[in-house]
Structure 1
Amino acid sequence: MPWSPLPLNLGGSIMLTDTAYDQLVMDAQTACSANKCFLGGKAYNLAWMTRHQYQVPPWIVLTTASFEQQLAYCQLTDKVRTLDQLSPAEQRKQCAYLCQQLSASNLAPHLAAKLKHALAELPKGRLAVRSSAADEDSTTLSFAGQLDSYICLEGYPDIAQAVIKVMASGFGERAVRYRQQHQRALSQTTLAVIVQTMVEGECSGVFFTAHPINGSRKHGLISACYGLAEGVVAGTADCDEFTVDLFSEEVKPQIHQKQFQIVYAENSGQGTERLPVAEALQTKPCLSSQQIQRIKQQGFQIARQLGRPQDLEWTFVNDQLYWLQTRPITSLPAPENPIGQRQVWDNSNIQESYCGITLPLTFTFALRAYHTVYQQTFQLLGVSKRKLQALQPALSHMLGLIQGRVYYNINHWYAALQILPGFKTNKSDMERMMGLQDPVDFIEGQPDNWRQRLVRLPDSLHALSRLCWGFMTMDRRVRSFESHFESIYQQVNRAQLHTQSIAELMAQAEWLQRQLLDNWQTPIINDFMVMMTNGRLHRQLQALGIDNAEALQNNLLAGETLASTEPTKHLMKLCDYIRNKPGLARLLSGLANDEVMPAIQYRYPEFYQRCQNYIEAFGDRCMGELKLESTTLRQDPRFLVALLKNYIAHPNLSLSTLGKTERDLRTQAEATVRQQLMLLPLGKYRCHYHRIWKLLKLWRKAVKNRESMRLARTRAIGLIRDIYREVGQQLAFYGVLAEPEDIFYLTVTELEQYMQGTAVQTEWQSLVSTRKAEYSQYQQQDLPHHFQTIGPVYLHNAFKPAATSDCLSTHNNEATSEAQPLNGIGCYPGEVTAPIKKIFSPDDDLDLQGHILCTVRTDPGWAPLFPTAAGILVERGSTLSHSAVVARELGIPAIVNIPGLTQQLETGQWVTMNGTTGSIQLQENPQATKQTDAELSPTSQDTKQRDSKAKDVLEEMSA
């Protein structure tokens, strides 16, 4: 069959020219200056070692032009070109045909003549024939074991046949599946073939210049066996292993009994055979110390020159080291002993503000806000520019985003806290306020050398004095803050946002951030006040010898009128109005949640206006209220309707009964403190009495101010949320985004760069689609509240807790009396036995009648749900978290900070919770013998009654 040249580039390798025909077969010297597209990966690496004068056995290469010539000779070129147009199954069938046709062919005559000539130039002896695909032994693909190789061959006929088989293996089943798995175009399949002189190695093996077992890049692993390297590569011979330190002469050997070796088959004249190792050598190292160092030094030098870890094959002949091949290491395990900064992450507290998955726009906005606010706070405290500059890495990264969840970077919080004197005390107080279950022990304060303390003393005292002045003037500061906030807030007209252009909206968002965030020092100073007074009061109560001082301290806070409970009280007023309007009550109970507001707007306009007033005042208070992507009552009032229905179902729930229990509890707690003080001598009594009551007053005021200013924060975020939503509306209108909500998958910086002309990507729809897919995967995962990372946060870190907390071990509803209780922090006393109901979002069933609320975390937006709950169980949080504070004011037994709560319990399980001790014990369902799942949910009769009510309501409206 006559050969004809290929008219075009097959598979993107080379264009055949007259010069290419002269280079069908290259010797090592010629290959040293050849392009990789001629040589393929393996031959190119051999050429590199030859060029750099490493000892390599003589070799030649049939270039990729030879492969293309052979395809053309077999008239298979067109079938290769059309491979990518076929389905995967059709591709495999076509490749099987190509493999079969190539295997059955002879070398093209011109190619055969070139090969015979080149073989005559090689030393006499056995030869190896190996593949060298264009992408083989690359930085991303190794093709290890996917293509055929043949060793210990002699004579042209065997060599030619092996060359054909190696070429055919490019379309073999293993290689095809490998390419498909790595999404490589099959039409670009092209390879070269190496023919190399084989040396009769006495000891051979491989050298990884990065350790393939422990992932260390500072150590290598030498695997060695007697005989040919085939014994190591194929795994047919026992090996010694030597872990070598790349930067010293340290070697850790693992010597094994080497019973067999792979050697040339002397009797048959070709191939290899497996023979026993001499008994005297079996347990001795097959490499000397000098040989180990030579392999390490030369191999490491190759890796340094190539700039990446290498997988090298070597052999010793008469103590001469030969290098048979090198290729980049394409994969390594995570290092057993990773190198890098150890960082601690915790979201016990911040998950109240940014619950669950948080999208990029919210996170980047929050990250910038934290940096701005805390930098200004430290400026207010008189921190010098030099120290503030040194603090920038910490202030810029106080938060982290791990698989879509927001975490505190505890290292950076402690770095900032070291500005103040008394680091150990402040550290303990902050951990208590944040609810850290696992205090960080390796982060220490400044050195205790007295000279260093003396140098730091002026700055520390200056900061402390400024902080104390902030505490003393807090009342005035809070009034000024609230006045300034209200004046800025009133300048934004929500109803007219749609009339503004994107440029105007972005400018308004920037103005709001500048006006509000640049004046946010008062809330931060107050947070320091909460932290310090809370810690000092706790220590004072412990010093008095009070049992369960933490629970008593919680009760001392009961009875405060907090902004976080104002929405609940307004809801109760709305319920009082409903109870006096029987028709309105019937309408509310008879319609679905999404039907109620349109109905009352028409039928009860006065009540509808009251609802609108509520939404205007508290419409930004929702679950996940600090997340820009959260849906508030302004966008969807169904949550308000669900709450009203819940309240109406509890006739005893009213403003008059709301605070009586908590006031009694507060009085009792104060009496306990007085009784304990009476046990002290008169002098100490007076001292401790005034100290405790002064602290208690400051603490209560600080907590009250905190809740008030957090409502301002929620309202500010609400404004910015609406502005960004309108930007999203317009970007979707003009086709930049697929839908308005896609804006939340962008970052603040990306939006600003889009305005400024510095964006590196402006095709946002594909970017958003990628991020949506990524964050959707995060929804399916669960992360611990506390873990550590080392080095690059997102690389080789599993985000697992250092130790698993003891927790209840049960299977769903299989509770037994012997089960150990879950434990948390009791926030409000009372023992409740009831079924739990897990609620995570406003879309869940919110009817809590007779149930204990069970959730991961809460924020102030959850407060309106609390009055209808028999008790409250929260997986995350601290004694000063919103759920704890609000539960105390409402007088509802509550426990927070319960590890594994939502994983251990399921909706419908009965538990006994003790709000004093913080224990939760599973119980048998008291109605288990009679009650079925159907009885726990609305029956068909209930549904019929509801439908009948809806019909009556609609008829009444029509009338």
Structure 2
Amino acid sequence: MEIIINLETLALGSLKTYYENLDVAGKEEVASILGGKARAIAQLQQAGFLIPKGFVLSPTAFETSLNFVERFYENSLSVETFDETSLQQNEVKIQRLLTNLQLHKTVKLELLYTLHRLCPNGELVAVRSSAIEEDNVQHSFAGQLDSFLNVPLEEVAEKIVAVWQSNFSDRILNYRRELGLSAMPKPPAVLIQRMVNPTVSGVAFAADPVTGRRSIAVIGAVCGLGNSLVSGENEGDTYHVDRQKNIIQRQIIGENPILSDEQILAVAKLVREVSNYFDRPQDIEWAIEDGQIYLLQSRPITALTQISDPDGIFNIWDNSNIAESYSGVTTPLTFSFARRAYEEVYRQFCRFMGVPLATINRHNDTFSRMIGLVQGRVYYNLLSWYRVLALLPGFTVNRRFMEQMMGVRESLPESIITELQSASWQERLQDSWRLVKTVVGLVTNYFLLPRRIRQFYRRLDRALQASPFNIEDLRPDELAAYYRQIESQLLTRWDAPLINDFLAMIFYGVLRRLTEKWCNDESKTLQNDLIGGEGNIISTEPAKKMREMADLVTVNREFAKLLCDGSLTAILPAMAQLPQFKLLYQQYLDKFGDRCLEELKLESPTLQDNPLPLLRAIGQLSLSPSPSLPVSPSSRKTAELRVRRALRGNPLRRFVFNWVLKNARRRVRDRENLRFERTRVFGRARRVFVELGKRFYALDLLNSPRDIFYLEVNEILGFIEGTATCTDLKGLVAVRQAEFAKYKDMPSPGDRFETRGIVYRGIENGLVSSDSVGCVSETQSSVTHHSYLQGIGCSPGVVRGAVRVIKDPKQIVGNENSVPLQPGTIIVADRTDPGWILLFPAAAGLLVEKGSLLSHAAIVARELGIPAIVSLPGVTEWLKDGDLVELNGSTGKVSKIS
């Protein structure tokens, strides 16, 4: 390796192109010769930037100067398993050697020769470190190694040794430990350049390193040399320049600005050109001598890698209600399936509501981003939901109703609402015409809805029974075609559930307003009492059938005990001795076999796959009869009596109120029943993909059939149909499994947060949590010492009892170590889904951290007569197993009691 490398005569051709085409070993070799700082300077000089002339003293000079110690030093670097004692001993030896270090005779001769060629008139030079790890993307080592300016030629050798010594100082060694780098650094190169004599100098950033704004260049300037500005000893002028070359901000320290506008724009142009050359924003040092701008140094702005750009596209993510369907980490297959479903059904919704097709097509991006996946967890992209709603007339009113239905605890910022509502007079005129069309369409859909629902049920039954073969017998291409058939017949024709959901949102919202204004309902819970006890809700049927089966085995204590403790292989044969129980059990599986814990996640095993949770729940229920009673009509009748008294003497109001109430009851009932049909569709899709997993495993495309859940829908179908961009399915699955395993060990980003620009860049440190909701940890810590919590009462009744905090229902049912609920226990959960129905019959009350008045937990609790409260942030941390509480399902208040 050469000792002296002249920056102007590097024999590497175009250094940037050469360097980028090297393999890893080649890049490491170049880096070891030049170091980070000198490599960047050499590249820029060859690209035509004005750089002070100079040369690089390679690490060979250090190794030659160490002479006989070279072998020892190299060996110490190769050892990666030093214990702390031996490491300290070697540091002491190296420090002792460095203290008396001088340049080797050969190095000194070459240095003097090169210096006099560089500075024939004895000009001063700069002696600067250029370590391998210095000035790179991960860490800059800024200010860690010594550099010297205005060095006379006779002192250069002394300063070179000082640079070497600083590379092994305690400061550097501690810094390396903090960064998790190897214990002992490699020797640095030393960059020696002829000094410029600037009138003005400073630093410049191609992006604002404080705010992260990539569109703003920040320039700092001082008179004379800029080392005092870099070190922080002196303040200088600061200028901000935007992409349109406007100087948008000036911070002038003295009476007059240091730079003229022309110079400010020239420096901004320079830093952006350097950044374009390196393909990433740079932090440069510059100096102006005789009107020429010299580039002294360039390195990446390391702080930007984890800072979101505040000018980027704004998004609000919220899981208030969707966590009920997709809790925790969700696999790629489930998310890709759900994302496609949300996109398609809400396109249909807008068509049904009379939104012009051209308008729908202009919002393609909005529909494709209804939900997002952040650190493996599914969130609503709230702005997309609001934008879809803004396509409909009556946005201001409907927005509030949608927030109630979705359980969103915090509305949008007013600035965004204003933006969504902004329109020209022509657009407002068109909107008025659309309003007329939409009202006509809504009235038409209102009257046609019962028929649409009946047609939807028939169409769904036909589609799910259409295959003439067993799914287990189909080839992979036949399975793909069958899935396409299901998608075209069902996911793209989801009319009845969509129209019903919208009408449920409207009627429930209007009912709530009428109870507040006409019935003086200050507690805002009267509407819940009025719609409870409607009956004919399919989600309550499993609880009733479980109760029926539990009653059959109550007298057979031996079989009941087997249900609670036995294995599936022991339970199923014993069931033959109880034919009536077996018949009810099979009927349950035939109808509700797809209804399982986390049933909308395709990776979730269903009751058809593993019926043990159902059998456990029945056994526990038979031994500990449920403390809850069938819903009492008193709450509903009392609420109806209160309404009659409030509306006495006003027949028109009474007529309107009763019409709204009747429709709210029907639409909420049908909403829950139609959601069960969604479960059936998801169940059929799950079966298709499970079978495809088996086929791919048999063809050695996957290491396990369940690996299919780590592929996306289009990747699976594309592999079969010839449109895949990656055919290494095992490799793709391995990458995803490693990433999602990491997500499972990470805390949730929070219930609600905001992002700017690239969502996944800066997600760990760049999340901006909502002030009122915040991240989970903040919410939990803020309620730890409270004596009571206030949520949303959704099912009336007052109950006292001990709580059981359930983070996974399998704690109660589902495995051989399950611990059943004790009679009178109040369930505390982060969220629930339809599969939790296995636990509800044994519960005395329900407290849920997430959810809304129209969430599954709220509706089913009302129908089963279980006092319940939803939307209780932090309740799963506030309460511990065995704590005694009193909950009021009408007021939404839960208090600890001693």
Distance change in 2, residues 1:703/1:197 (3 Å): same
Write the mapping of 1:292-691 to structure 2, written as runs, cut at 5 A: 293=261, 296-306=264-274, 307=276, 308-315=280-287, 323-332=295-304, 338-440=310-412, 441=414, 442-444=416-418, 446-447=421-422, 451-491=426-466, 496-548=470-522, 550-560=524-534, 561-588=536-563, 591-592=565-566, 597-598=571-572, 600-601=574-575, 603-604=577-578, 607-651=581-625, 658-659=630-631, 661=632, 663-680=633-650, 685=651, 687-691=652-656
CA distance in 1, matches of 2:175, 2:719: 41
Farther-moved stretch of structure 1 (538-547 vs 758-767): 758-767
Alignment partner, residue 56 of structure 2? 61
Alignment partner, residue 830 of structure 1? 797
Q: Does 1:208 align with 2:182?
A: no
Identical positions, percent: 33
Question: What's the secondary structure of 2:801's corresponding residue?
Answer: strand
Alignment partner, residue 119 of structure 1? 116
Farther-moved stretch of structure 1 (444-453 vs 517-526): 444-453
Distance change in 2, residues 1:595/1:777 (3 Å): same
User: Retained in 2: the 8 A contact 1:367–1:399?
Assistant: yes
Q: CA deviation at 1:394?
A: 1.4
CA distance in 2, matches of 1:765, 1:448: 51
Q: CA deviation at 1:713?
A: 1.0
Q: CA deviation at 1:117?
A: 4.4
CA distance in 2, matches of 1:118, 1:472: 94
Distance change in 2, residues 1:193/1:645 (3 Å): same
Alignment partner, residue 795 of structure 1? 761
Q: CA deviation at 1:399?
A: 1.0
Aligned partner letter, 2:213: S
Q: CA deviation at 1:849?
A: 2.0
CA distance in 1, matches of 2:239, 2:864: 65
TM-score, normalisation: structure 1: 0.79
Question: What's the secondary structure of 1:473's corresponding residue?
Answer: helix
CA distance in 2, matches of 1:602, 1:70: 88
User: Retained in 2: the 8 A contact 1:826–1:895?
Assistant: yes
User: Retained in 2: the 8 A contact 1:139–1:329?
Assistant: yes
User: Retained in 1: the 8 A contact 2:537–2:673?
Assistant: yes
User: Retained in 1: the 8 A contact 2:222–2:258?
Assistant: no
2:712 corresponds, among 735, 744, 747, to 747
Distance change in 2, residues 1:631/1:91 (3 Å): farther
Alignment partner, residue 267 of structure 1? none
Write the mapping of 1:206-355 to structure 2, written as runs, cut at 5 A: 206-223=203-220, 228-235=225-232, 237-240=233-236, 242-246=238-242, 247-253=245-251, 255=253, 284=254, 288-291=256-259, 293=261, 296-306=264-274, 307=276, 308-315=280-287, 323-332=295-304, 338-355=310-327
Please give the per-residue CA displacement for 1:244-263, whole angstroms capped at 9, x wherever unaligned: 335334544374xxxxxxxx
> Over the residues paired in the alignment, what is the CA RMSD in angstroms?
4.1
Alignment partner, residue 916 of structure 1? 890
Q: CA deviation at 1:154?
A: 3.3
Alignment partner, residue 131 of structure 1? 129
Question: What's the secondary structure of 1:878's corresponding residue?
Answer: coil
Aligned partner letter, 2:409: Q
Q: CA deviation at 1:93?
A: 9.1
1:717 corresponds, among 670, 682, 699, to 682
Alignment partner, residue 738 of structure 1? 703
Distance change in 2, residues 1:337/1:80 (3 Å): closer
Farther-moved stretch of structure 1 (729-738 vs 87-96): 87-96
Alignment partner, residue 190 of structure 2? 193
Please give the per-residue CA displacement for 1:198-250, whole angstroms capped at 9, x wherever unaligned: 35667754333433333333445455567754434445x34345243353345
Q: CA deviation at 1:85?
A: 8.0
CA distance in 2, matches of 1:181, 1:767: 34
User: Retained in 2: the 8 A contact 1:57–1:196?
Assistant: yes
CA distance in 1, matches of 2:359, 2:549: 53
Distance change in 2, residues 1:169/1:431 (3 Å): same
Q: CA deviation at 1:758?
A: 4.1
Q: CA deviation at 1:367?
A: 0.5
Please give the per-residue CA displacement for 1:169-222, whole angstroms capped at 9, x wherever unaligned: 778887789889989999996864322233566775433343333333344545
Aligned partner letter, 1:785: D
Write the mapping of 1:807-886 to structure 2, written as runs, cut at 5 A: 819-845=786-812, 846-886=820-860
Distance change in 2, residues 1:83/1:290 (3 Å): closer
Question: What's the secondary structure of 2:372's corresponding residue?
Answer: strand
Farther-moved stretch of structure 1 (800-809 vs 744-753): 800-809
Distance change in 2, residues 1:234/1:788 (3 Å): closer
Distance change in 2, residues 1:148/1:452 (3 Å): closer
The one of the two structures with greater contact order (alpha-carbon pairs below 8 A, sep at least 6) is: 2
Write the mapping of 1:30-109 to structure 2, written as runs, cut at 5 A: 35=15, 37=30, 40-47=35-42, 56-62=51-57, 70=64, 87=81, 104=101, 106-107=103-104, 109=106
Q: CA deviation at 1:351?
A: 1.8
Farther-moved stretch of structure 1 (763-772 vs 166-175): 166-175
Q: CA deviation at 1:96?
A: 9.3
Distance change in 2, residues 1:501/1:910 (3 Å): same
Q: CA deviation at 1:98?
A: 8.8
Distance change in 2, residues 1:614/1:823 (3 Å): same
Across the two proteins, how many residue pairs are aligned to each other? Answer: 858
Q: Which runs of 5+ in 2 are unaligned?
A: 17-29, 813-819
Q: CA deviation at 1:328?
A: 3.0
CA distance in 2, matches of 1:815, 1:200: 63
Please give the per-residue CA displacement for 1:520-554, whole angstroms capped at 9, x wherever unaligned: 11111111111111122223333323324742211
CA distance in 1, matches of 2:41, 2:204: 16
Question: What's the secondary structure of 1:313's corresponding residue?
Answer: strand
Farther-moved stretch of structure 1 (82-91 vs 452-461): 82-91
Q: Which runs of 5+ in 1 are unaligned?
A: 1-5, 7-20, 256-283, 925-959
User: Retained in 1: the 8 A contact 2:199–2:289?
Assistant: yes
Q: Is the radius of gyration larger for structure 1 or structure 2?
A: 1
Alignment partner, residue 20 of structure 2? none
User: Retained in 2: the 8 A contact 1:107–1:164?
Assistant: no
Q: CA deviation at 1:497?
A: 3.8
1:702 corresponds, among 650, 658, 667, to 667
Aligned partner letter, 1:130: R
CA distance in 2, matches of 1:461, 1:812: 50
Q: CA deviation at 1:709?
A: 1.6
Please give the per-residue CA displacement for 1:573-598, whole angstroms capped at 9, x wherever unaligned: 21222135454335435x34656524
Distance change in 2, residues 1:874/1:53 (3 Å): closer
Question: What's the secondary structure of 2:6's corresponding residue?
Answer: strand
CA distance in 1, matches of 2:600, 2:473: 26
Q: CA deviation at 1:923?
A: 1.2
Please give the per-residue CA displacement for 1:83-109, whole angstroms capped at 9, x wherever unaligned: 668557799999998998898574473
Question: What's the secondary structure of 2:127's corresponding residue?
Answer: strand
Please give the per-residue CA displacement for 1:936-956, whole angstroms capped at 9, x wherever unaligned: xxxxxxxxxxxxxxxxxxxxx
